[in-house]
Amino acid sequence: MNAQYSAAYPNLYRCHWWWRVREDILLQKIAGLLTGARGARILDVGCGAALFFDALDPFGFVEGLESDQSALERSGKWRSRITLGGLDDSFKPAAPYDLILMLDVIEHIPDPQPGLRRAAQLLAPAGRLLVTVPAFSCLWTSHDDMNDHVARYSARQLRTAFEAAGLVTLEMGYLFQSLVVPKLLVRAKERLISNRPHVPRIPPPALNRAARAWFHTEYRLAGWLPFGGSLMAVVAAGHAGQQVTA
């Protein structure tokens, strides 16, 4: 991640409408996945500075994996819950997990298969893997370059990656449908005019609130549409049941 973006990220996460909407959607999904579970074990892969941990804490015991030492140094009270490293055989937790999160992680990895297979191994029998990724290579902009992305995914491509890792797709759907046209316009502009990537800014308060309300409503009413700026999937280990297509 770009150094300037990395420095701005905590404030963006806490205040910008996109991150707020994304977290609200994720928490709604997690609450449904962990219904009836007491003291669930949760692993947040690529957890950064543990910005999501406060919201996850009511669901159970939260741990994290992070490969960036500087992010760990900013994790405050959660530092002892985070392991420095990647999702591979060197990571040996005390017990399986009821929920593993890979939130905007695998688009940074040239070959996500080893990490996905390791996630499958670490799930409890009824455990679930929750994944988000940026959607569609045609929406690639300088923002992806700034974030060190190596891929954007369609539903078919993401499902194929899961199948290759021995995982079963239970749910899959797109998010942020209204962002598709603006991102296509940005991409077209960047193809015509060389543009330096810039760190996102938090909109003025009224616009920020309006965007947050709009995208909440969009998710409720139009979340079924087969396109969007992001993609979210719920996945299980291969023995967990029949695949449900998007």
Spans of the chain below 50 pLDDT: 240-246
Fold of 3-237: Rossmann fold (3.40.50)
Question: In this predicted structure, what is the pLDDT of residue 242?
Answer: 40
In sequence order, the β-bridge partners of residue 43 are: 63, 100
Question: In this predicted structure, what is the pLDDT of residue 95?
Answer: 95
Question: In this predicted structure, what is the pLDDT of residue 78?
Answer: 97
Greatest Cα pair distance, the chain, in angstroms, is 54
Question: In this predicted structure, what is the pLDDT of residue 1?
Answer: 63
**DSSP secondary structure letter of residue 203:** P
Domain positions in the chain are 3-237
Helix, strand and coil percent figures for the chain, each rounded to 5: 45, 20, 35
For residue 61, give the amino acid letter: F
In tens, the pLDDT along 73-84 reads 899 999 999 999
b/e map 69-93, b = 16+ CB within 10 Å: eebbeebeebeebbbeebbeeeeee
The DSSP element (H or E) to which 190 belongs, if any, is: helix 180-192
- For the entire predicted model, the pTM comes to 0.93
In sequence order, the β-bridge partners of residue 174 are: 231
In tens, the pLDDT along 38-59 reads 789 999 999 999 999 999 999 9
Question: In this predicted structure, what is the pLDDT of residue 239?
Answer: 59
Sign of CA dihedral 220, 225, 226, 227: negative
Q: What is the DSSP string of 55-79?
A: HHGGGEEEEEEES-HHHHTT-GGGG
